[in-house]
Amino acid sequence: MSNDAERPAARPTITDVARHAGVSKGLVSFALNDRPGVSAETRARILASARELGWTPNLRARSLSVDRSYALGLVIGRSVDVIAADPFFHSFIAGVESEFSTAGQVLVLAQATPGREETATYRGLAADKRVDGVFLSDLRAGDDRVALVRELGLAAVTLGRPDVESPFPSVSVDDGRGIRAAVEHLAALGHRRIAHVAGPSTMLHGRRRAEAFTTALVAAGLEPTAIIETDFSAVDGARATRELLGLGADRRPTAIVYSNDHMAFAGLAVAQRAGIHVPHDLSITGFDDTELARHTFPSITSVATDAFDWGARSARLLLATIAGQPVDDVELSEPRLVVRESTTTAPESESARH
């Protein structure tokens, strides 16, 4: 009796994809390896055929034949609980995987404390070609990872522009523009005492957002009530909010600009527990416009960025770099302020004072 029915189906091959798409095997190879010479329409047809047939690359065979690992790394230098709570990384990684799923790539994730542990992690990833390249996230002032990764001979893409000389292409967004938009919105509503719950000044985007906050206030003829630095976590955002709400009646802010959404969520909870009504007593804004911002009560006014697109475009840029294609820095669309229920005109006492 035949056991054919019990045998697993044969794994689809490039030949199967070529037959299904009606093209040559060579053209399929070019398309699946993201090499030039394939029209956008033909590439799309080939990728659709690969998905329909359930084709996946034989990474072991490919890596042995071309001395590549077909793996790319993302080392995150934050605590595990902050990573788990921060929706930016979830969306960014989803964007990366949307490109890797058809490019035959694997994403290697690692968490490491900045310093010796982080350096050892990068060296370990580079050893024996465990990865072909890395995404450099959360850029720091004078970031020594740029020189380290260059020394290790890895390809890389920086998320943002470093403040040191870099041989790597970058994918960046003017997040300072988003902070300025939030301040301009609050100032137009009559707020004069505006505070900022910032990220760590050691991170370039945390520093740049704080600088943009101060610049926007000066342009509006105001001075910051306070700028409180945090580690970007909800716990630290709550701590900063309690500190701000503990200021005297003449110093307490009527509006707070948070450097990410989940600190704004924490701040909203702290204010409500203290009997402070948002937005009538206190207006708040977030950053990243995560899905939850639309569903809290009140819903959160937030700066919208597209972390998924950031991940997808970073992945394409890193793959092009590894393939030896010419690349340029990528500037993402400007962030925009999405106004919701958490902001309104300044309290009457504040407006009357000015």
Res 27: pLDDT: 79
Walk along the chain (354 residues) and give the pLDDT tens digit of each residue. 445 444 445 778 878 888 898 888 777 777 776 666 678 888 888 888 888 887 766 544 454 444 567 899 999 988 877 777 788 889 999 999 999 887 788 999 998 988 899 999 999 999 878 899 999 999 999 999 999 999 999 999 999 999 999 999 999 999 999 999 999 999 999 999 999 999 999 999 999 999 999 999 999 999 888 999 999 999 999 999 999 999 988 899 999 999 999 999 999 999 999 999 999 999 999 999 999 999 999 999 999 999 999 999 999 999 999 989 999 999 999 999 999 999 999 997 555 454
- 188 class by beta-carbon count within 10 Å (0-12 exposed, 13-18 middle, 19+ buried): exposed
Tokens representing 324 are 């030896």
Which pLDDT value is given to residue 350? 58
pLDDT of residue 6: 47
Q: Are 45 and 31 in contact (CB under 8 A)?
A: no
CA-closest candidate to residue 289, choices 181, 186, 187: 181
333 and 177 Cβ atoms separated by less than 8 Å: no
Looking at residue 66, its pLDDT comes to: 46
Q: Residue 8: is the preceding peptide bond cis (ω within 30°)?
A: no
Of 201, 122, 130, 133, give the one whose Cα is nearest residue 167.
133
Question: Nearest CA to 112 among 103, 121, 104, 123?
Answer: 121
Q: What is the pTM of this model?
A: 0.80
| Predicted local confidence at residue 103, as pLDDT | 79
Phi/psi region, residue 278 (left: phi>0; alpha: psi -120 to 50; beta: rest), is: beta
Tokens of 153: 């001979």
Task: Tell me what pLDDT residue 229 has.
Answer: 97
Q: For residue 225, give the nearest of 261, 187, 260 by alpha carbon.
A: 187
